[in-house]
Structure 1
Amino acid sequence: MTWGRLYFAVQAAAGTAWWVAVFALPAVRTATLGALDFRIVAALDIPFFVIASALVACGVRKAVWIAAPWTVLVAIGMVVYATVTATAGWGALLMVAAAAGSSAAAVILLLGRVPSEWLLIGPFRFRPAAEASARTLVSKTTLQTLVFSGTFLVALPAIIAGLEWRWGLHLAFPPAARVGGAVLFVAAFALSTWSSTAMAVQGAGTPLPSSTPRRLVITGPYRFVRNPMAIGGIAQGVAIGLMVGSWLVIVYALSGSLVWNALVRPLEEADLEERFGSAFRTYRDRVSCWIPRRPLIASAG
């Protein structure tokens, strides 16, 4: 709960500083509010956003029911406004970030923890794969990869890049960045393909939690790092951001990596330890989570 209150303290301070800047600096006012009447907005936002956040930070728990919903409501309104008018892009972006932070902090305050297990429902609940041939598992993995890539590496980046342009937040990238992005994408795609193939052939499963490998995979890229699939996916996201010249897509990819590392990875490793016991613990102790290094375990056939 301390972290939740700390977040709202920072939000209250940031909101105060922002409103001071809005009243004092026309450039900040235009960049974040466009043509909106800042006095009317301030009359609502200062009590519901700044003061309510400060009250939460001071221990008034009920105020979270004002601060968090208001922040989400304003974020939605600013996104619509910025998209329709092509103004106030920075305001929309900042409020989206504040809405995400307020929502997470509110959950921590109300529940006392982050309920990361909520992520593992339906097709994302850990279940060992049914017995099938390697060819069938490779086919299933390919289909999963196409769905995942189409959603997280094509559709969402396209939306983000489009909003970046519409909101006037686009920054010019040098040609070298686009070339570097293409090289990174090829390397990351190869790593993801190598990893998913090892998971299907050696692990008798797929990357999807509902069809997770039945055998512990410590071969192929898994000899060098424990999470090559995640590294490949994150790197592909960054590469796409470089290729399309979108800094927001890069932020999106890196933010996704933080969420995955903080919320999903501990659950995944707990499942692996429960199913494979000491074999996984030995593997975890000898192989790095994120930084590839020289293998300390022998390759298994």
Structure 2
Amino acid sequence: MASVRPARGVARLTASHGRAYFAFQAVAGAAWWAAVFTMPPIRRATLGGIDAVSMAAFDVPLFVVASVLAACAWRPAVVAAAAWTVLVAAGMAVYATASQAAGWGALLMVASAAGSLAAAALVLTGRLPAERILVGPFAIRVAREATRRVHRARTARQIVGFWGLFLVVAPLAILWIERRWGLDVAFPVPLRVAGGVLLVVASALGAWSGWTMSSRGAGTPLPSATARRLVIAGPYRFVRNPMALAGIAQGAAVGLLIGSWMAVAYALAGSLVWNAAVRPLEEADLEARFGDAFRAYRDRVPCWVPRLRG
């Protein structure tokens, strides 16, 4: 694969962004501890039955103070803050699942752990190791030569497998966690119906995209068997990444349909990861293989918002 450069429209994250995150985390952590000791509802919602004084004895130096020092780019503090945040997130997740208490604390710490790991990578290396996402079945490899029928069959298997995993198994697991942690909210019926309609529309777009890719591109939508030819047909005339757009819309639709705000958030977070980490790698590969043809296509067709005319 060619050397990766940021795709057009994707901001490059640097060490300064990582330091800014740690500064934010330090302020947020200090504010949270102030709320824990002054507002009992916050303490119950985020700590449950955990003793606040004992927790603060470790968390203030290893989370708040370490985040301040990490914001100053002191490397040992970066490692300490990230490691501690991950450890606490894992412990809080286990505690919330077992006790059905402190669900908000577990959720906040899981989010903090993800942010801390990303910020640590930025501060320590100056970049996010996005290429590590595209490994195994996600590694970019050109599809082997085969008949159109074979490519269509492979695409159908991919759709069944990935839709089953990301649109059934993952959302149901998230819904179970959401309820177990006491974070579920009631969704009105019209919102659930809207989710069902969106799911049908997005699934039709996904199926159309997969059929077009396998029929015109001599490959599949999966990076590990990516198309041998540049596809500018079907939905690809209107938007560059219809498969990704369909998948994100499907994930949000499933969340609405089953009444899980966390599943909706999971889909939206996935869109951010895809746009910031995966898209630059895929577009670098396409530019390396198709050159001016891809650059002209990229300049003409938008990434996310479909143009009205093909």
Q: Which TM-score band (shorter chain)?
A: over 0.9
1:22 aligns with 2:41: no
Q: Return the offset for 1:138.
A: 0.8
Where structure 2 has 5 or more consecutive residues not aligned to the other structure, the ranges are 1-14
1:93 aligns with 2:143: no
Residue of structure 2 in register with 1:187 after alignment: 201
Residue of structure 2 in register with 1:42 after alignment: 56
Q: Structure 2: how far apart are the matches of 1:60 and 1:216?
A: 46
Residue of structure 1 in register with 2:160 after alignment: 146
Q: Contact 1:287 / 1:295 at 8 angstroms: preserved in 2?
A: no
Deviation >3 Å, runs of 4+ = none
Identical counterparts, % of pairs:
61
Q: Structure 2: how far apart are the matches of 1:123 and 1:80?
A: 30
Q: How does 1:231-246 map to 2 (within 5 A)?
A: 231-246=245-260
User: What TM-score do the two structures reach when normalised by structure 1?
Assistant: 0.97
Q: AA paired with 2:131?
A: E
Q: How does 1:145-294 map to 2 (within 5 A)?
A: 145-294=159-308
Q: AA paired with 1:183?
A: V
Q: Return the offset for 1:116.
A: 1.1
Q: Structure 2: how far apart are the matches of 1:59 and 1:181?
A: 44
Q: Structure 2: how far apart are the matches of 1:122 and 1:192?
A: 22
Q: Contact 2:73 / 2:123 at 8 angstroms: preserved in 1?
A: no
Q: Structure 2: how far apart are the matches of 1:141 and 1:228?
A: 15
Q: Contact 2:63 / 2:85 at 8 angstroms: preserved in 1?
A: yes
Q: Contact 2:252 / 2:267 at 8 angstroms: preserved in 1?
A: yes
Q: Contact 1:52 / 1:67 at 8 angstroms: preserved in 2?
A: yes
Q: Structure 2: how far apart are the matches of 1:81 and 1:294?
A: 50
Q: Structure 2: how far apart are the matches of 1:98 and 1:283?
A: 38
Q: Return the offset for 1:60.
A: 1.8
Where structure 1 has 5 or more consecutive residues not aligned to the other structure, the ranges are 297-301
Q: AA paired with 2:97?
A: T
Q: Structure 2: how far apart are the matches of 1:51 and 1:190?
A: 50
- If asked which structure has higher relative contact order (CA below 8 Å, sep 6+), I would say 2
Which residue of the other structure, out of 28, 31, 46, is the alignment partner of 2:45? 31
Give CA-to-partner distance per residue, 1:267-287, whole Å, 9 cap, x none: 111111111111111111111
Aligned length: 296
User: What TM-score do the two structures reach when normalised by structure 2?
Assistant: 0.94
CA RMSD, 1 decimal:
0.9
